Amino acid sequence: MKGVKIGVYIPADIYEEIAKFSSKGENVSLSKLVQEALRLYMYLNQPLKEGAVVGTINVVYDHGKKNIDSELTDLQHEFLEIVVSTLHVHLDEETCMLNIIVKGEGKRVSEFIDNLRMLKGVLLVNPTLYKMKG
């Protein structure tokens, strides 16, 4: 199959981190890096169609973004049947991390993750889920 050429917006801070790899002698092709990142993203976020899952979702966000704390709390309340517990960590004056423990139907957890990613101010959503037996 032949590839498709697309344009991708990359924030300056991420591009600078990529440039650091290149300056340290790492042979990094931006195209290959994006391809690998997309493959990893798809692997880690496969749609959870059936069955129950348990795990954690790490959310890094910009605390300075207006209303982000209340939006995150409201979203957790919308998904109360799967949110077991949360841990809030202050990373610096502007950045916080939530570690959200979830347990429930995979389809619902997947929906929760999608909603987290749509919030303005959320910088990273990293789920680690285990499909439960039975």
Q: Where are the domains of the chain?
A: 12-44, 52-131
pTM attached to this predicted model? 0.72
Size of the chain, expressed as the number of residues it contains:
134
Residue 112 CA to its chain's centroid (Å):
11
The tokens for 52 are 């129950």
The tokens for 82 are 């799967």
The tokens for 108 are 């619902």
pLDDT of 3 reads 81
Domain 52-131: CATH class, spelled out: alpha beta
pLDDT (tens, 9 = 90+) of the chain, 134 residues, equals 688 888 888 889 888 887 777 666 666 677 878 888 888 777 666 656 678 999 999 999 999 999 999 999 999 999 999 999 999 999 999 999 999 999 999 999 999 999 999 999 999 999 988 888 86
What are the respective helix, strand and coil percentages of the chain, to the nearest 5? Answer: 40, 30, 30
Question: Cα dist. 80→29, 77, 102, 109, 125 in Å?
Answer: 43, 5, 9, 11, 18
